[in-house]
Amino acid sequence: MSVQQDGWIGVDLDGTLAYFDHWRGSFHIGKPIPAMVDRVKKWIVSGANVRIFTARTTQPDYDESVVQDWLAKSGIGPLPVTNQKDFALVEFWDDLCVQVRQNTGQRVDGEI
């Protein structure tokens, strides 16, 4: 993985980094998904700038310490948490996204 020094990797929390089956409130985060946790740890060790990307930040009762505690218990440690993309975002890992070819509107997987 080669990430520009000023770029960052966004990792969705629910359904990508943590198991998610339905919303149980802002204070519940599912069990870690081992493959993703391992991937994030490798990125961090390699010096990548990783941020947790989550819509939780829009909830009225959002408490970032809940996310940070979960990250610590998962062995990842503290990471920035956001719900906003910017031009330094170089990769985004998410269970809901559909990738499209830049400037075409065409899905990468060939589906319509």
Per-residue model confidence as pLDDT tens digits over 18-74: 999 999 999 999 999 999 999 999 999 999 999 999 999 999 999 999 999 999 999
- Split at pLDDT 50, 70, 90, the class of 5 is low
Q: CB–CB of 101/15 below 8 Å?
A: no
Pick the CATH number of 8-93 from 1.20.990.10, 3.40.50.300, 3.40.50.1000, 3.30.70.100: 3.40.50.1000
Is residue 26 packed enough to be buried (19+ CB in 10 Å), middle (13-18) or exposed (0-12)?
A: middle
pLDDT attached to residue 71: 98
Q: Where are the domains of the chain?
A: 8-93
pLDDT exceeds 80 at position 4: no
Global pTM reads: 0.90
Single-letter amino acid code for the residue at 25: G
